[in-house]
Amino acid sequence: MSIEALFKLHEGLPRGGPGSNQSTSEAIRRLPALPAAPRILDIGCGPGQQTVVLARELHGRTTAIDVYPPFLEACRTEAQRAGVDSLIEVRDLSMDAMDFELESFDLIWSEGAVFILGVEAALRLWRPFLKPGAIIAFTEATWLTEDPPAEAKEYWAQGYPVMATAEANEATAKTLGYEALDRFILPASDWTDEYYAPLKERMDQTSDSADPDMAATIAEALREIEIFERYGDSYGYVFYILRKSA
């Protein structure tokens, strides 16, 4: 499996990972009061579904960053289609090389992209860009039980060995200078209907499945779906809402 094949498989899909506009709106509803026109940073924006919801509901100037040009283009197109492009700046910028002014954001958002660095590194690296007392909200694959089934544990030990429970993630956040405000588990439909269904359709239609990299990527995605179908009640995506402590 290669990262290029993975990106290619996801090109043109509405989302890059589990999630839904309803869950984005639910997380926004749970935020504490923000300034009238908050400065927002959306990290790993992908095709921009959540970027548009953020701009539409919070009316803030929103910077969306990603490193894959087709996703950046899709995010721009989505913002135009929704009529919020005047609020959104899309930038080709890596989450581990951000050059923003320090303490410049009221809200950092990241759906399905924290795993690229891991919770600890992401929260450590991004904290300086939050204003004092500002908010970070992100989704992250999370164990929902202390004692997951052996096969699920084995699968994720290969795929994402640092996956932790919500309690452990919030404890990590605390040591890094955050206060946990709220969290909720994304519904299973955010995986199955919103993410896996379009992904399965894409896998059925892809013309380069004979390419060994693409074939391996498809096999891996099918295995991931199978594991979710069998053990999806032992792990899930959790939406975390944290505040930068003084």
Ligand X SMILES: C[S@@+](CC[C@H](N)C(=O)[O-])C[C@H]1O[C@@H](n2cnc3c(N)ncnc32)[C@H](O)[C@@H]1O
Closest distance to ligand X from the beta carbon of 66 (Å)? 5
Closest distance to ligand X from the beta carbon of 144 (Å)? 19
Closest to ligand X by CB, 50 vs 169, is 50
Cβ neighbour number for residue 145 with a 10 Å cutoff:
12
Closest distance to ligand X from the beta carbon of 98 (Å)? 9
Closest distance to ligand X from the beta carbon of 117 (Å)? 8
Closest to ligand X by CB, 46 vs 148, is 46
CB-based contacts of 84, cutoff 8 Å, min separation 6: 52, 55, 56
Closest distance to ligand X from the beta carbon of 188 (Å)? 16
Closest to ligand X by CB, 64 vs 152, is 64
Binding site for ligand X (CB under 6 A): 15-17, 19, 44-47, 49-50, 65-68, 71, 94-96, 111-113, 116
Residue of minimal Cβ distance to ligand X: 46
Closest to ligand X by CB, 67 vs 149, is 67
Kindly report the length of the chain. Answer: 246
Closest to ligand X by CB, 66 vs 170, is 66
Closest to ligand X by CB, 91 vs 149, is 91
Closest distance to ligand X from the beta carbon of 97 (Å)? 8
